[in-house]
Amino acid sequence: MEAAWIIATILGGLGLFFAGSDMLTGNLRSLANRRIQQEIARVASSIPAGLMWGAILGAITQSTQIVTFILVGLLMARMIDARRALPMIVGANVGASVIIFVVTLDIEIVVLMALGGSGILMTMQRFQNWQAVLRAVFGLCLLYYGLVLLKMGAAPIAEEPFFKEMMAGAGGSPMAALAIGAALTLISQSSVSVSLLAIAFAASGLLSFEQTVMVAYGTNLGSSIATWLLSGQIRGTARQVAMYQFSFNIVGCIVLVPLFYTETLFGFPPLMAAVQSLSDDVGQQIAFAYLFFNMIAGFVLLPLIGPSERLLARLYPPTEQEDESRLAYLSDHVAGNPEIALIMAEKEQLRLLQRLPRYIDVPRLPEAGQRGRRMAELREAFRSVHRQAGIYIDDLADDRLVAENHERVYRIVDRHSRLETLEAALAEFAEAAPLLQGSAALEDIRIALVEGLDAVLLSFVEAMESGDPEDMALIQRITGDRGDLMEGVRRQFLSDETVSLGREEKLGLLQLTGLFERLIWMLREMTQKAPLAITQEES
């Protein structure tokens, strides 16, 4: 029964951790307007500022894992870049080291209060405008409490005879102490509990001071391995931060373990002697050793922030999906010049237009799983660029509207809204088309609608790219009213007694022809009311 409880608690902790991480990231993304991005960039604009804020976060959360995944969430929401995140990781490791000094401090009460408060406020109508903030806080609390559950589930393991035997087995050699400290931290998900247990063993004479120091070093190593395992699903730029945290303690071990043996054999450098001179209490001595481990690793890595960033970028480059989800033209640099910003906004919108024909490739994929994954990728990338560009476009409409550019700004805003509805309708069409794939009676009309829309879309994008009056006139002609044509198709199949259609086939036919008709009308409307000024100027 106890084994079942341990397994259930650990699984529950993992579920809360991953759900909280996803909730935190998603709601941070929705909060990522340009002013917030600028504020975060400002407070972490330099290495000292990043160190300071990282140390504060590490001291408050008492966990480098939590700080790492907060930064991963900020990176995935594009509210911070990797260069600003790396110094915060260094600071967080130093800040979290103070936990041994203040181990009696318990922030679980604060987390539970924040969890309950944000959950209650999320259900209140008057706080609807704060939903993204409340959900981000709620997700952060779930993430934290997931780690708490992991520790709770693993805590009984620390009382098991094999656990204590492993700890006592560290008395044999310092390297065994290092390995056991790492292994027990990985099992218990708590470097603090393992360090405190090692201190208790040292106080009882089971471990020497030197062996206890190596257990403390091992807990740092085990914590990083746990972070590496938890970040296994993360890819691209966000993976860089997780792996930097993993490498932080690896570097600490590479530097400090040889120094440990050098001091043991030759008495130099007197690092452990300095630690012992700071306090007569073995617990405080280990706390200082724990702190020095992270400070020395930080001192080694800080001058290498630039090379570390470049190395991580090579090892974990942005994914294709990540590149597709980024702005290519708009940035804070160009936003300061209204004329350039207008041109760049239209270039971003043209990029979005150029992606639309890819949606028609989705129904051609053979398997439903492939279609679902590809559609999710296309939609996520489109929405990300559309949302990020919308932030700059809203600023243009709010702050940069003058007599000379008001018409162009209006068209950009109007086009941006039309792009959103066009993409949604096109995705619906691409998802509906395969529903008729198994119908022998409707297969020809399904292919005709898919291929016909593909041809129209390609011609539309080409016309919007060129801005040529003849191309635009052609689009006007081929996107003429298709209502009568689609009604004829529906009447032909639905009223023909020789064609036997099931209920699902009839609904699919109505949906697909209706969406085709709507999409053709939307393309015509955009051609008439929201042509791209950049292509007209270039032509």
> How many other C-beta atoms lie within 10 A of the C-beta of residue 468?
14
Q: What is the DSSP letter of 405?
A: T
* Angle value at C-alpha 419, between 418 and 420, nearest 5 degrees: 90
Beta carbons within 8 Å of 484's beta carbon, 6+ residues apart? none
Percent of the chain, pLDDT > 90? 14
What are the structure tokens assigned to 480, written together? 């003429």
How many degrees, rounded to 5, is the angle at CA 193 between CA 189 and CA 195? 110
The pLDDT, as a whole number, for residue 157 is: 65
Q: Which tens digits make up the pLDDT trace of 414-447?
A: 999 999 999 999 999 999 888 777 776 777 788 8
* Residue 499, both tokens: 């064609």
Q: For domain 322-528, give the fold.
A: Methane Monooxygenase Hydroxylase; Chain G, domain 1 (1.20.58)
Q: State the Cα–Cα distance between residues 37 and 22, nearest whole angstrom.
A: 20
**Single-letter amino acid code for the residue at 460:** F
The Cα 199–Cα 280 span in angstroms is: 13
Structure tokens at 235: 């890819």
Using DSSP, state whether 67 is helix, strand or coil. Answer: helix
Instruction: Give the span between the Cα atoms of 532 and 350, in whole angstroms.
Output: 8
**Of 257, 261, 242, 244, which Cα lies nearest the Cα of 293?**
257
Residue 11, both tokens? 């699984």
**Nearest-5° angle of CA 153, CA 244, CA 24?**
55
Measured CA to CA, the distance from residue 28 to residue 33 in angstroms comes to 10
Q: What angle do CA 24, 223, 183 make, to 5 degrees?
A: 135
pLDDT of the residue at 103: 46
Q: Which pLDDT score, from 0 to 100, does residue 16 have?
A: 82
- Closest by CA to 281, choosing from 199, 198, 207, is 199
pLDDT of residue 236: 84
CA distance linking residue 69 with residue 245, whole number of Å:
10
pLDDT at residue 280 in the model: 79
241, 88 Cβ separation under 8 angstroms: no
CA dist 308 and 401 (Å) reads 43
**pTM of the entire structure?**
0.63
Q: Are 499 and 493 in contact, with CB atoms under 8 Å apart?
A: yes
Report which of 360, 362, 351, 358 is spatially closest to residue 326, judged by C-alpha positions.
351
Euclidean distance between CA atoms 228 and 234, whole angstroms? 10
- What is the C-alpha separation between 78 and 51, in angstroms, rounded? 20
Q: Around Cβ 30, how many Cβ atoms within 10 Å? A: 14
* Matching residue, tokens 């089971």: 206
Q: What pLDDT, on the 0 to 100 scale, is given for residue 155?
A: 61
B/e letters for 372-382, b = 16+ CB within 10 Å, e = fewer, are eebbebbbebb
* Residues in the chain with pLDDT values less than 70: 1, 21, 25-26, 28-45, 59-62, 77-79, 98-107, 147, 150-151, 154-155, 157-160, 162-172, 188-190, 192-193, 196-197, 200-201, 203-207, 399-405, 440, 481-501, 530-539
Tell me the C-alpha distance between 102 and 480, whole Å.
73
Task: Choose among 213, 217, 211: nearest CA to 185.
Answer: 217
How far apart, in Å, do the first and last CA atoms of the chain sit? 76
Residues with Cβ within 8 Å of 179's Cβ and at least 6 positions away in sequence, in order, are: 218
Q: How far is CA 158 from the centre of its chain?
A: 33
Q: How many CA atoms lie within 13 A of 296 on its CB side?
A: 18
Question: What is the distance, to the nearest Å, from the Cα of residue 217 to the centroid of all Cα atoms in its chain?
Answer: 30
Q: Report the pLDDT value the prediction gives residue 378, as an integer from 0 to 100.
A: 93
Read off the DSSP letter of residue 317: P
- How many angstroms separate the CA atoms of 211 and 209, rounded? 6
Quote the pLDDT of residue 422: 94
* Residue 539: predicted pLDDT: 46
Q: If we measure between CA atoms, which residue out of 160, 179, 217, 117 comes closest to residue 6?
A: 160
Q: What's the 3-state SS for 422-471? A: HHHHHHHHHHHHHHHCCCCCCHHHHHHHHHHHHHHHHHHHHHHHHCCHHH
Where in the chain is CATH 1.20.58? 322-528
Cβ neighbours for 472, distance < 8 A, ≥ 6 positions apart: 463, 527, 531
